[in-house]
A and B are shown apart, each in its own frame.
Chain A
Amino acid sequence: MSDSQTIQNVSAIIDALIKEHQHRAGALLPLLHAIQDAIGYVPESCYASISKALSLSVAEVHGVVTFYHHFRTQKPGRHVMQICRAESCQAMGSEALEAHAKQCLNIDYHQTTADGAVTLEPVYCLGNCALSPSVMVDDEIYGRVSPEELDALIKEAKIAEAKA
């Protein structure tokens, strides 16, 4: 698929989602979730059509997208790794885990590895505080994660990718 076809495809997906959600009460958040679930991010290029459909200004749409930590405007890596920074995980050594992740992925938070495989994000509590420290990879949560297990998670994600 060429790039222009991809872009056309994405805008078709977004238009369909706008049609599906625009008449719901308080439609913007469900719509943004649907877009991000479908294509992995909320491209700024869709602000205009969203604002038109929901009778909002582009600034309002931009304001909402950027207010919430969950939404991103750039395509993330093929996997998103979130490391919990909250108190319970700190009490169980999450700081060392964060440093380890940044070092082996060779990136900081909000960045993606050069091969496009992993985006690293901080998160403030995954509700897994009985089994701290916690890490989430895509939609899977992992508890009592040691630096060695973190290495294994990264490796696992890459192996799954190689198979796919």
Chain B
Amino acid sequence: MVTKIYIPRDSSALAVGAEKVAAAVTAEAKARGLNVEIVRNGSRGLYWLETMVEVDTGQGRVAYGPVKAADVAALFDADFIHGKPHALSLGLTEEIDWLKKQQRLTFARVGITDPVSLEEYLAHDGYKGLNNALKLSGAEIVKTVTDSGLRGRGGAAFPTGIKWNTVLGCEADQKYIVCNADEGDSGTYSDRMIMEGDPFVLIEGMTIAGVAVGATQGYIYLRSEYPHALITLNEAITAANKAGYLGDNILGSDKTFHLEVRRAAGAYVCGEETSLLESLEGKRGLVRFKPPLPAIEGLFGKPTVVNNVISLASVPIILDKGAQFYADYGMGRSRGTLPIQLAGNLKQCGLVELAFGATLRELLYDFGGGSASGKPIRAVQVGGPLGAYLPESQFDTPLDYEEFAKLWAVLGHGGIVAFDDSVDMAKMARYAFEFCAVESCGKCTPCRIGSTRGVEVIDKITSGKDHAKNIQLVRDLSDTMLNGSLCALGGMTPYPVLSALNHFPEDFGVSSTGLSSEAK
């Protein structure tokens, strides 16, 4: 009998030696004359346990981790290929509490299947959504997506169905579906995990979008920092084309949808949709004025749906199980699930997909296990480099778009970066301005110049120069950037800056009464 052994090809698993583990398992099995088949799966998302090796025992998959290449011989000695105990044994994967507590809808297959096997995708409910969609009119598909309550997971949280409806309503000889896979926010990696761990779900979501709005060409704009995702996506697209799930006359339906991956080139601002479109057109990624909306005049001036990876990858299950099934998860106006990414200084970093409504505290302590350093968690940045820093007093906030907005914070793309008490928040505020200066496209003045002035003003504050005056100046500057910038890069840089200043004034030499030491 052939024993299936799963070793992830996910780039974070590779980053801690998965390739060496796979080579060692192959060599060891050969030396011992054992018949094993190695499947390179996506990551289950328990990254502190990577490289996590799973063995299919016939009575479920048994996990071992974190495995290093040097552990492999001992695992064979312990007869791990029959699921026998070893110091690294984690038991049945499905019984791991961290996974059991999650509600994996978008990530239903990630880590379970061979990402580039169309056969396995189909065996695990793949393409059921598209099959349903092909029986519906464009308007009916759009209505299903609208009714599900799905909102853009890239960060802006705009209702996906409404965006699609605008494109559906446009008359044009050509329309496009563009997937924004320029996942540049620090602390986020869910797009990458989908593209490396279940690329077909993204391809299916984009195909459904194309069928719905009448677009025949799709582009995935993939960040250049993700070489492994490029490989899995291209392998999956080739397989889908070959089997008739992409191209002309999809599954005999007369519908056409072609898909191509385009590599970005390391500009953070190209995650902004209009800048992304400029880049796809082969230009500098300068942000466009809106209107016109990309839905009306997008790529090459044609009506274009621009959606994030997770938004599009959530569509197949909505078309498979129905709008209500998806909408039954969540709270308030935040429906469905959010793939949350735990990052930074936490013991247990990884992917946690949950219905909206879990609190930050649950995520940081129940899932994250507290700080990696063992020191108290002092600040948490949610939603990437343009997201606010939250202090401990706000850790009981539920993850919900509106609840975060009330705190002048954002959920963004669902990344949570934890910092322990060694963090200097004035330094983080300075970094926010510095990052904005490095990444500004340069089109609008508040962002292009404001960011550089911001770094200088923070430097003056931390060196104690005209302290009270400069604290006021950084607030005025933030106000200008917030209200005067063309896009979210300049417009949201004040979020990390002012939240750091407001919640952690002592790091800026300001007492909790709000007076700077100089003014007192």
Contact = CB atoms under 8 A, between A and B. Distances in A.
Interface of A: 25-30, 32-33, 54, 60, 63-64, 67-71, 86-92, 123-132, 134, 136, 139-144
B175 to A, nearest CB: 14
B372 interface: yes
Contact of B186 (A26, A64, A87, A142): A87
A29 B263 contact: yes
Contacts of A127: 11-12, 183, 188-189, 191-192, 223, 225-226
Given A67-B267, A70-B266, A130 B417 contact: no
B343 interface: yes
Contact of A128 (B189, B282, B344, B431): B189
Contacts, number: 151
A94 B223 CA distance: 22
Contacts of B192: 127
B267 A129 contact: no
B237 interface: no
20 contacts: A28-B283, A29-B282, A30-B263, A33-B224, A33-B263, A68-B265, A70-B267, A86-B435, A87-B186, A87-B344, A87-B428, A87-B431, A88-B343, A90-B431, A127-B189, A129-B341, A131-B12, A131-B15, A131-B50, A141-B11
Given A26-B280, A131-B15, A68 B189 contact: no
Given A87-B428, A124-B438, A131 B47 contact: yes
B285 interface: yes
Given A128-B11, A143-B15, A91 B189 contact: no
Interface in B208-225: 223-225
B185 interface: yes
Contact of B16 (A29, A32, A63, A131): A131
Nearest to B280: A26
Nearest to A82: B225
Interface string B18-43: 00000000000000000000000000
A30 B262 contact: yes
B438 A143 contact: no
A139 B263 CA distance: 14
B318 interface: no
B225 to A, nearest CB: 5
A67 B285 contact: yes
A144 B372 CA distance: 12
Contacts of B423: 91
A73 to B, nearest CB: 13
A128 B229 CA distance: 13
Contacts of A128: 11-12, 15, 189
A134 B280 CA distance: 28
Interface string B239-269: 0000000000000000000000011111110
B225 A68 contact: no
A129 B263 CA distance: 21
A126 B183 CA distance: 9
A69 B186 contact: no
Those 10 A-B pairs whose CB atoms lie nearest each other, nearest first? A86-B186, A28-B282, A68-B265, A91-B344, A129-B343, A143-B15, A130-B349, A130-B47, A70-B266, A69-B266
Interface of B: 11-12, 14-16, 47-48, 50, 183-189, 191-192, 223-227, 262-268, 279-285, 300, 341-345, 349-351, 372, 381, 385, 415, 417-420, 423, 428, 431, 435, 438-439, 441
Contacts of B415: 88, 129
Given A26-B282, A30-B263, A125-B186, 18 more contacts: A26-B280, A26-B300, A29-B265, A29-B279, A54-B282, A63-B284, A68-B265, A68-B285, A69-B265, A86-B187, A91-B420, A125-B184, A126-B225, A128-B11, A129-B186, A132-B349, A139-B227, A141-B11
Nearest to A32: B265
A91 to B, nearest CB: 4
A124 B283 contact: no
B187 A129 contact: yes
A107 to B, nearest CB: 19
A123 B262 CA distance: 20
A136 B225 contact: yes
A90 B263 CA distance: 27
Given A32-B265, A87-B187, A129-B349, A64 B283 contact: yes
A91 B419 CA distance: 5
A5 B240 CA distance: 43
Contacts of B420: 91
B380 to A, nearest CB: 10
B189 A129 contact: yes
Contacts of B344: 87-88, 91-92, 129, 132
Contact of B284 (A27, A33, A64, A89): A64
B489 to A, nearest CB: 12
B492 to A, nearest CB: 14
Contacts of A54: 282
Nearest to A71: B265
A152 B293 CA distance: 50
Most buried by A among B282, B300, B349: B282
Contacts of A131: 12, 15-16, 47, 50, 349
A48 B435 CA distance: 33
Nearest to A29: B282
A21 B284 CA distance: 18
A148 B435 CA distance: 28
Contacts of A87: 186-187, 344, 381, 385, 417, 428, 431
A68 B226 CA distance: 16
A121 to B, nearest CB: 10
Nearest to B282: A28
A154 to B, nearest CB: 17
A130 to B, nearest CB: 4
Contacts of A124: 184, 186, 268, 385, 435, 438-439
Most buried by B among A71, A132, A139: A132
